[in-house]
Homo-oligomer: A and B are copies of this chain.
């Protein structure tokens, strides 16, 4: 490298050694992030993200958050990790046991406005099924008779689309095309025999950019009548990816409030990725590869391996992880501003813990 290239570096290092931080070079994107609360973290992330695709490319965000030394930053990063998994009020994606009525599995889903805690201290307005976000997990078997009763306690009409299920048209959940809208205060019943196995979703299909964005979504898992050998696993985990109104979340929570996956050495874990957001999220697992078996509930012609799986809005991808490596493995979206801020990891980060 030329002298000309190396001199500024040397100067920078001298400056750093004097001041403990390159504050003379401040003024960039990340310089505004001097508060320590979760709200500030979220704001910082949003800022960084929009700036990356926007006007700040010319900025030189060398400086640490104003007033923070490397030690300050490390403390914040450590606090986030130590807090994981952090307690928050509410848990989404809980398995909902059906009521059995005359051989029919009956599920009641009530849509209403709630307040939701995405990470410790961060409360958001949400619209949810049964007061949880994502809505309760419905898990049935191919061929089951199912009744879903939707109660609308929202101030807008709504409807449910069973995304991925190959149902008769009148059950497709698109107001004014396949059914009337379910108005505020009304109920509506969907009843059907479950046609196809796989990882599916249910969500609003009315004013959906807003209603799904606010939380009217959940997993609809259909177990096959005849599972393939590769489907025999020790743990079956649904991971719903989201962005938008509630920030970057996995199953409705942002790190450190996300839920770790805990398995034992040698176990096989199935992960069902579902994207209910508006952006792609390439999910990266550390330490072990993932074997992709299904796309949108349909088997791939042959399983294939990866460590980073790009999940687009509306897609579902099923993978198997053979837990061959003990330890706590980071597991996160690889669009880095969805996973880390100057104050530490946040948003779409969890861990796969493989216990000896």
Contacts and interface: CB of A to CB of B under 8 A. Distances in A.
Interface of A: 1-2, 4-6, 8-9, 12-13, 16, 20-22, 25, 30, 39, 42-43, 45-50, 52-62, 64, 70, 73-74, 77-78, 81-82, 89-90, 112-115, 117, 124-125, 127, 131-132, 153-157, 161, 163-164, 166-170, 172, 174-178, 181, 183-184, 205-210, 212-214, 243-247, 278-280, 282, 284, 286-289, 295-298, 300-308, 310, 312-316, 325-330, 334-337, 339-342, 351
A201 to B, nearest CB: 10
A174 to B, nearest CB: 5
A57 B42 CA distance: 8
A60 B6 CA distance: 46
Copies in the complex: 3
Contacts of A282: 312-315
A288 B166 contact: yes
B245 A70 contact: no
B244 A169 contact: no
Given A9-B112, A125-B60, A336-B212, A301 B298 contact: no
16 contacts: A5-B117, A6-B114, A13-B153, A39-B58, A43-B58, A46-B57, A49-B278, A50-B53, A56-B245, A166-B288, A208-B339, A301-B303, A302-B302, A306-B315, A308-B312, A313-B334
B336 A183 contact: no
Contact of A73 (B47, B125, B157): B157
Contacts of A114: 5-6, 8-9
B13 A70 contact: no
A74 B214 contact: no
* A1, A155, A295: residue with the most chain B Cβ atoms closer than 10 Å: A155
